Structure 1
């Protein structure tokens, strides 16, 4: 968890993603369409991606990607983000 904490610290929005994951792509597009500019970590393109993925699974992100952090807090995966958006609660979190 310390590794994840250091990766999200001082960043308003972070998405852990895989470049081949369609849900990751959708969540990145959704968050960018709201006007946010998230930091994105593509786990299949970073050296310690498998280690990061294991850490995400340990904190309860099932599946491991996409995993969204806003304000250094773990918000959730694609279902949670889409539900927040549908309830008009995602944009206020990002602002």
Structure 2
């Protein structure tokens, strides 16, 4: 758990992913299209990936935690939570964009 939280806090946008997961790919693509550079950890390619995924299961409280997104060191969640934020208006833009700006992950 400590390693996950340390990695999650080292960058404005962190995504824990699996390289063969279509939902992970979709979330990474969304952030790329928003102009955000994410630190991406492909757990199927990480030496301690299995342990990190177990920590994310405990942290997020779900069996399949990937993709797991952190913005500004705070847990956002998985695909459903990210898309809900993206579709939720915050003035003239999405709440997701506001969070990314606040964390300095994008400069729009």
TM-score, length-scaled by structure 1 = 0.95
CA-based RMSD of the aligned residues comes to 1.0
Tell me which structure has the larger Cα radius of gyration: 2
Q: Deviations over 1:32-79 (max 9, x none)?
A: 111100000000011100000000001025322000000000111000
- Kindly indicate whether residue 22 of structure 2 is the aligned counterpart of residue 22 of structure 1: yes
1:61-80 residue pairs with structure 2 within 5 A?
Answer: 61-62=61-62, 63-80=64-81
TM-score, length-scaled by structure 2 = 0.84
Q: Distance in 2 between matches of 1:86 and 1:19?
A: 25
Structure 2 spans left out of the alignment, 5+ residues:
89-93, 102-108
Aligned residues: 95
CA shift for structure 1 position 2: 1.1
Runs of 4+ in 1 over 2 A off after TM superposition: none
Q: 1:48 to 1:23 in 2, by over 3 A?
A: same
CA shift for structure 1 position 3: 1.3
CA shift for structure 1 position 92: 0.8
Structure 1 spans left out of the alignment, 5+ residues:
none
